[in-house]
Amino acid sequence: MIPTLEWLPEGVSFLDQTKLPLEETYVLATDYIQVATVIRDMIVRGAPAIGVSAAMGVALGIDRSTAASLPELTKEVAAICDHLAATRPTAVNLFWGIGEIRDLYNRLAASNTRIAEIKSAVVARARQMYDEDIAACKQMGQFGAELMPEKGTVLTHCNAGALATCGYGSALGVIRAAVERGYQIDVFADETRPFLQGARLTAWELMKDNIPTTVLCDNMSAHLMKQGRIQAVIVGADRIAANGDTANKIGTYGVSILAKEHGIPFYVAAPWSTIDRATAHGDEIPIEQRSAREVTHSNGKQMTPNGVSIENPAFDVTPFKYITAIITERGILRAPFAESIRQMAEDKVLATA
């Protein structure tokens, strides 16, 4: 399994996803500012991977701090967290990852723990989150595999695979788990304009696993659905509101409507950390606007007239009514999602009390 990101003695190493599929190169971030750049520039991407990257960024900042006192270090930690939080606003996992390390730091600092011990503890927690993410993806895969066709074609949009997580994947993890069970599945991968995560990344990693994959232009799925060539759709998520409304890569909303029209199940696979119960519904989810250059240029070549206006939202929101089920590492959520999300949260609290 090629590591999407990896904690090393020198810093955090990231597979440069902007260079895939033609180059497998790595970027080493030696401080939290460089981690923030890696997240902002989409060298690492995908909500679960962003969350763990952010956690490692905070841990790296604390570990490399030269602060001689807790008050001085506490001030630095606030600045580190603010800097990382400003990178990409839609993926709630970003704030979850930051919060995990910040909250651990605050607990330790409140008890006057030695700085050296705090550094060891936050690094250990960030590395533990890496392992937990892979375990969560594999558990999602086991739950979700039961929903996949034993023989047929599954459509996916963007990349919710090993590259979007610390390994194995969310949506693609479900597909992997189904294939491991012996299901005869092939995949249609939407190219996913303008950043081409499907064409570049999903196709690349599925081909490495010898899972049959065909790349589609984003405007082809309706035609293929009408022909009966797609048996299920599965995507990832960057934020799931308390009512089940789901933000994912731009274009997902349209695919969900097409799937509903053609009677095709539409599944979302995401770790529990992607569910934001503080966000009541999809209208409250902030939508990241990205650089116009992602639209105006392709492989460095300008494709649009000089001076034309560009709109480039990175995400859209799929209303819960178009979602058949949400697959998490805790189990499968079904409508009414507000109730099933609340119940799953309460069950976890009771189980750990």
User: Catalytic residues, which ones?
Assistant: 238
Sign of CA dihedral 280, 283, 284, 286: positive
Residue 82: partners with Cβ closer than 8 Å, 6 or more residues away? none
How far is Cα 70 from Cα 107, in angstroms, rounded to an integer? 12
The tokens of 349 are what? 């609290």
For residue 15, what are the contacts with CB-CB under 8 A and spacing of at least 6? 2, 3, 4, 5, 24, 25, 26, 44, 163
Helix axes 115-145, 92-110, angle to 10 degrees: 140
The gap between the terminal CA atoms of the chain, to the nearest Å, is 35
Write the single-letter amino acid at 177. Answer: A
Q: What beta strand segments (E) does the chain contain?
A: 5-8, 11-15, 26-29, 151-156, 184-190, 213-216, 232-235, 239-241, 246-249, 266-269, 275-276, 297-298, 301-302, 315-318, 325-328, 331-333
The helix/strand/coil state of 78 is helix
Strand-pair partners of 301: 298
Write out the DSSP string of 287-317: --B--THHHHEETTEE-S-TT-----BSEEE
Exposed/middle/buried for residue 209 (C-beta within 10 Å: 0-12, 13-18, 19+): middle
Distance CA 310, CA 287 (A): 16
- Asked whether 202 and 189 are in contact (CB, 8 A), the reply is yes
| No. of helices (H) and no. of strands (E), the chain | 12, 16
